[in-house]
A = this chain, B = another copy of it.
Amino acid sequence: MAEDWTSIRGGVTTPLGFRASAVDCGIKDPDKRRLDLALITSDTPVVAAATFTTNRVKAAPIRVSAEHLRHDEVQAIIANSGNANACTGPQGIKDAKQMAKSVAKALNLRQRQVMVCSTGMIGLPMPMDRIDPMIPKLVEGLAPTKVAGTDVAAAIMTSDTRSKEVAVKFKLGGKEVRIGACAKGAGMIDPNMATMLSFVTTDAELSKAELKRATTRAVEKSFNRITIDGDMSTNDTVIVFANGASGAAKIKSGSNEAEVFTKALTYVLIKLAKLLVSDGERVTKFVDICVRGASSYHHARMVAEAVAKSSLCKCSWNGEDANWGRIMDAVGYSGARIREELIDIYFDGVAATRNGMAAGTPVSKLRAVVKKQAFTINIDLHLGEANYNVFTSDLSPEYVEFNRSEYSMWKRAQGDTEQPAAE
Q: Is A297 an interface residue (CB 8 A)?
A: no
A323 and B409 alpha carbons, distance in the complex (Å): 12
Q: Which residues of B contact A58 (CB under 8 A)?
A: 332, 340
Contact assessment for A360 and B57 in the assembled complex, using a CB-CB cutoff below 8 Å: no
Contact assessment for B315 and A403 in the assembled complex, using a CB-CB cutoff below 8 Å: yes
Contact assessment for A57 and B356 in the assembled complex, using a CB-CB cutoff below 8 Å: yes
Q: Is A157 an interface residue (CB 8 A)?
A: no
| Given A57-B340, A418-B363, A422-B363: A356 touches B89 (CB 8 Å cut-off) | yes
Contact assessment for A353 and B87 in the assembled complex, using a CB-CB cutoff below 8 Å: yes
| Given A55-B333, A366-B422: A403 touches B123 (CB 8 Å cut-off) | no
Contact assessment for A403 and B231 in the assembled complex, using a CB-CB cutoff below 8 Å: no
Segment with Cβ contacts to B, from A140-148, A176-184, A306-314: A306-314
Contact assessment for A89 and B341 in the assembled complex, using a CB-CB cutoff below 8 Å: yes
Q: Which residues of B contact A244 (CB under 8 A)?
A: none
Q: Is A400 an interface residue (CB 8 A)?
A: yes
Q: Which residues of B contact A357 (CB under 8 A)?
A: 87-89, 123
Q: Is A9 an interface residue (CB 8 A)?
A: no
A67 shortest CB reach to chain B, Å: 16
Q: Is A127 an interface residue (CB 8 A)?
A: no
Q: Is A318 an interface residue (CB 8 A)?
A: yes
Q: Is A153 an interface residue (CB 8 A)?
A: no
A405 and B325 alpha carbons, distance in the complex (Å): 12
Dominant secondary structure of chain A at its interface with chain B: loop
Q: Which of A322, A360, A400 has the most CB of B within 10 A?
A: A400
Q: Which residues of B contact A375 (CB under 8 A)?
A: none
A24 shortest CB reach to chain B, Å: 24
A408 shortest CB reach to chain B, Å: 8
Q: Which of B56, B340, B363 contacts A419 (CB 8 A)?
A: B363
Q: Is A126 an interface residue (CB 8 A)?
A: no
A419 and B366 alpha carbons, distance in the complex (Å): 11
Minimum CB distance partner of A228 in chain B: B311
Q: Is A254 an interface residue (CB 8 A)?
A: no
Contact assessment for A358 and B321 in the assembled complex, using a CB-CB cutoff below 8 Å: no
Q: Is A320 an interface residue (CB 8 A)?
A: yes
Contact assessment for B56 and A231 in the assembled complex, using a CB-CB cutoff below 8 Å: no
Contact assessment for A400 and B318 in the assembled complex, using a CB-CB cutoff below 8 Å: yes
A185 and B122 alpha carbons, distance in the complex (Å): 35
Interface set, chain A 76-128, CB cutoff 8 A to B = 84, 86-89, 121-123
A224 shortest CB reach to chain B, Å: 13
Minimum CB distance partner of A125 in chain B: B358
A264 and B230 alpha carbons, distance in the complex (Å): 38
| Given A315-B400, A323-B422, A423-B361: A329 touches B88 (CB 8 Å cut-off) | no
Contact assessment for A320 and B405 in the assembled complex, using a CB-CB cutoff below 8 Å: yes
Q: Which of B57, B319, B333, B400 contacts A328 (CB 8 A)?
A: B57
Q: Is A174 an interface residue (CB 8 A)?
A: no
A312 and B398 alpha carbons, distance in the complex (Å): 13
Interface set, chain A 368-400, CB cutoff 8 A to B = 395-400
**10 smallest beta-carbon distances between A and B, as pairs:** A319-B404, A122-B325, A57-B332, A319-B405, A315-B403, A397-B397, A55-B332, A232-B333, A123-B325, A397-B400
Q: Taking A311-B311, A363-B419, A399-B400 as given, write out 19 further A-B residue pairs in contact, using a Cβ cutoff of 8 Å, ordered by the A residue number.
A: A57-B329, A57-B333, A57-B338, A84-B325, A86-B325, A86-B328, A87-B324, A87-B340, A123-B358, A230-B310, A231-B310, A232-B329, A319-B403, A319-B404, A319-B407, A319-B408, A321-B404, A323-B422, A324-B422
